[in-house]
Structure 1
Amino acid sequence: MANIIKLFIIVIVASSWLYFLTKFAPSIDESEEVNLRFPNSLDELKHLSEILKKYYEKNCFFVILLFCSAYLYKQSFMIPGSALLNLLAGAIFGTWLALPIVCLLTAVGASVCFLISKNFGKDILEKFFPDRVRRLQTKVMANSGRLLYFLLFLRIFPVTPNWFINVASPIAGVPLPLFFITVLVGLLPYNLVCVQAGEVLSTLSAVSDLLTPTVLINLTIAATLFLVPTFISKEQRRHTS
């Protein structure tokens, strides 16, 4: 019960901070009522990007603070929509500023999710996802000598949901520093695709346009490259045993 109360307080504080930012946003046009909220569709995203571009010209600090807060909120509490925020970052900041921002926010937000799960989520995961947690634990143990490459592969190859890796990693015994690094590096290709698409936001008709066959092939190749050290390690042990 005490853990539930603590988690509830964390959610309330984080939600209140976001509400404060949006409620008391600086004015950019007194004749226009501005509604700042999470985008749930591509059309809403385009509209929000236009508003924030105006903000960014006059209140760049506020836009960065609001974007970072919203991104961390989504990542920390496993709220869907990070792809839309990646697009938004590309539209507002441009690819080469947006990329380090979203990569860092992804890693920090996922690490907060990791810590929340570690402190509050163990019983819930073992109750509702016992088989999946057990499989991840087995794979982590089997790849303990090459865990870095294994976790990078999981991040780059879009098979295992990222939200599940985030919440199950502490239960499976993944160290937080290694977890942070693999999120930061492993999701870089996907984040790059998103922020680049954000620069041409007006030409997109659906978020699914991001995952074209070419993009998926490139992600598969990148993920396969991270497995090479694993195969080399296996061969070395086989020849030396």
Structure 2
Amino acid sequence: MHRKKIIIVILAFIALCCVFEFNHLLTLENAKIYQAQLSEYINNNFLLASVLFFVLYTVSTALSIPGSIILTLLGAALFGFWWSLLLVSFASSIGATIAFLFSRYLLRDWVQRRFSGKLQAINLGIKKDGTLYLLTLRLIPIFPFFIINLLMGLTPMSAKKYYLFSQLGMLPTTIVFLNTGTQLADINSLSGLLSPSVLMSLVVLGLLPLISKFIINGIKQNKVYQG
């Protein structure tokens, strides 16, 4: 137990250093500057730049460092829609799963004390709907993503299922923001992301798990009726 506490302190220190060192850099204004400065470098070192971006995104997600939206926009502006979709989709899912594992094996006691009320709601949702509940949380973010990562680590869900359904659930929203990020130079504020078309896309995406659940329930009832 003593060793576990030492590891937690070290990880917390690293996270704090990353937050205070990089958080102020992840702004919309800086993202535009980075885009202009890095474009030529990426053209000459595409593979290396892709790996570095992938690692940065994974680490920032695993440590819950604010600025994922900015990184997503920047990735689309630097690498184009399809390549950034590959990078961001896998990096965000892997980072979320790492945070999930941190919670399960290193931060369990702290998470239980800090988020006990929300944990009850998560457990009830998982008990009732299983992995469909995780899919719903990813498409309709009732809780911030970093809280979902921490709380899900204390549920019986396996890491494999968590990764797969996180990747599936976060993919539609990732697509929406990456599509917006391809026009980073024209965005003057984060409020500009919330245009009517983007908001409508998010609403439609949010309804997907509810529609899926309705269809699944209909199929189950039909089988019971026929049986």
Q: Structure 2 length as normaliser, TM-score?
A: 0.86
Match of 2:172 in 1: 189
Q: Is the 8 A contact 1:77 1:113 kept in 2?
A: yes
**47, 50, 58: which is aligned to 1:72?**
58
Separation of aligned partners in 2, 1:84 and 1:41: 6
- 1:54–1:7 CA distance, 2 compared to 1 (3 A): farther
Separation of aligned partners in 1, 2:154 and 2:124: 11
Displacement of 1:14 after TM fit? 9.0
Match of 1:32 in 2: none
Match of 1:215 in 2: 198
- 1:224–1:13 CA distance, 2 compared to 1 (3 A): closer
Match of 1:127 in 2: 113
Separation of aligned partners in 2, 1:82 and 1:65: 17
Match of 1:176 in 2: 159
**180, 187, 196: which is aligned to 1:204?**
187
Q: Return the letter of the residue paired with 1:76.
A: A
Q: Return the letter of the residue paired with 1:118.
A: R
Match of 1:56 in 2: 42
How far does the alpha carbon of each residue in 1:136-183 deviate from its partner, in whole angstroms, 9 at most, with x for none? 011111113xx2x32212111233211111111121222211111122
Displacement of 1:87 after TM fit? 0.6
Separation of aligned partners in 1, 2:116 and 2:41: 46
Displacement of 1:199 after TM fit? 1.6
Displacement of 1:237 after TM fit? 5.2
Displacement of 1:15 after TM fit? 9.9
Displacement of 1:229 after TM fit? 3.4
Q: Is the 8 A contact 1:111 1:180 kept in 2?
A: yes
Displacement of 1:207 after TM fit? 1.8
Gaps of 5+ in 2: none
Match of 1:153 in 2: 136
Which region of structure 1 is more displaced relative to structure 2, 149-158 or 126-135? 149-158
Q: Return the letter of the residue paired with 2:6.
A: I
Q: Return the letter of the residue paired with 2:44.
A: K
Separation of aligned partners in 1, 2:193 and 2:150: 26
Separation of aligned partners in 2, 1:68 and 1:169: 24
State, as a whole percentage, how many aligned pairs show the same letter.
25
- 1:165–1:217 CA distance, 2 compared to 1 (3 A): same
Q: What is the aligned-residue RMSD (CA, Å)?
A: 2.5
Q: How many residues align?
A: 220
Which region of structure 1 is more displaced relative to structure 2, 99-108 or 40-49? 40-49
Separation of aligned partners in 1, 2:176 and 2:153: 28
Q: Is the 8 A contact 2:15 2:63 kept in 1?
A: no
Displacement of 1:235 after TM fit? 4.4
- 1:175–1:213 CA distance, 2 compared to 1 (3 A): farther
Q: Is the 8 A contact 2:176 2:201 kept in 1?
A: no
Gaps of 5+ in 1: 19-35
Task: Provide runs of 4+ in structure 1 moved above 6 Å.
Answer: 11-16
How far does the alpha carbon of each residue in 1:69-110 deviate from its partner, in whole angstroms, 9 at most, with x for none? 211111011111111111111111000111111000011110
Q: Is the 8 A contact 2:139 2:205 kept in 1?
A: yes
Displacement of 1:225 after TM fit? 2.4
- 1:137–1:75 CA distance, 2 compared to 1 (3 A): same
